[in-house]
Chain A
Amino acid sequence: GQQVMQIPQYQHVQEGEDFTTYCNSSTTLSNIQWYKQRPGGHPVFLIQLVKSGEVKKQKRLTFQFGEAKKNSSLHITATQTTDVGTYFCAGRNYGGSQGNLIFGKGTKLSVKP
């Protein structure tokens, strides 16, 4: 079945350093979503990418969808302590229901002040 792999599993950075998490799917995706889960919290939607090669920015966060629509990345510039949490990508197959939204296992980011 479809798999969504996410690396790294953990990332420890000094405040002010950049951070990137990568997501790879075994199949072509119709779209990909990113979520952030703060410690003790629930996943919160960040963004959805639909088009091949799409790049979207949210302040210090840059999201990219690969040309083949099989990979994606999230880059955070100059991390802050408020960026702490686990970042999940979730890839969706073409057609079907929410069951086709497959989550990666997440990248847990810790930021040292």
Chain B
Amino acid sequence: KAGVTQTPRYLIKTRGQQVTLSCSPISGHRSVSWYQQTPGQGLQFLFEYFSETQRNKGNFPGRFSGRQFSNSRSEMNVSTLELGDSALYLCASSYQTGTGELFFGEGSRLTVL
């Protein structure tokens, strides 16, 4: 069974640019959550999608957005990048929402210069 796939794995952007990250969940999983991981703040919840609907959103500015497609694949977008957006962005999938373990992808490491 293939795991959670995130692309791209590494990317470098400059301030003001935007970025789109992609996540393909484990087959059959309908819930996709996104987390931002930084050394100082740990794992911070961005948002969760279940069956193409955003179920919950963390305390991030509106520059952070996401969506989920009918095949459960998800994308997140960050517009007008700031230096502080440099982080590892992790996607996690689960079969259901609100219960069970999360299966994390390898992450997309974003560096903003």
Complex CA–CA separation, A75 to B42 (angstroms): 21
Q: Are B107 and A45 in contact (CB under 8 A)?
A: no
Query: B105 within 8 Å of A by Cβ?
Result: yes
Complex CA–CA separation, A104 to B31 (angstroms): 21
Residue of A nearest to B47 (CB): A99
Q: Are B43 and A103 in contact (CB under 8 A)?
A: yes
Q: Are B97 and A33 in contact (CB under 8 A)?
A: no
Q: Dominant SS at the B interface?
A: strand
Q: Are A100 and B56 in contact (CB under 8 A)?
A: yes
Assuming the contacts A99-B57, A101-B102, asked whether A43 and B90 have C-beta atoms less than 8 A apart, the reply is: yes
Complex CA–CA separation, A105 to B35 (angstroms): 13
Query: Which residues of A, 79-98, contact B by the 8 Å Cβ criterion?
Result: 88, 90, 92, 95-98
A92 to chain B, nearest CB (A): 8
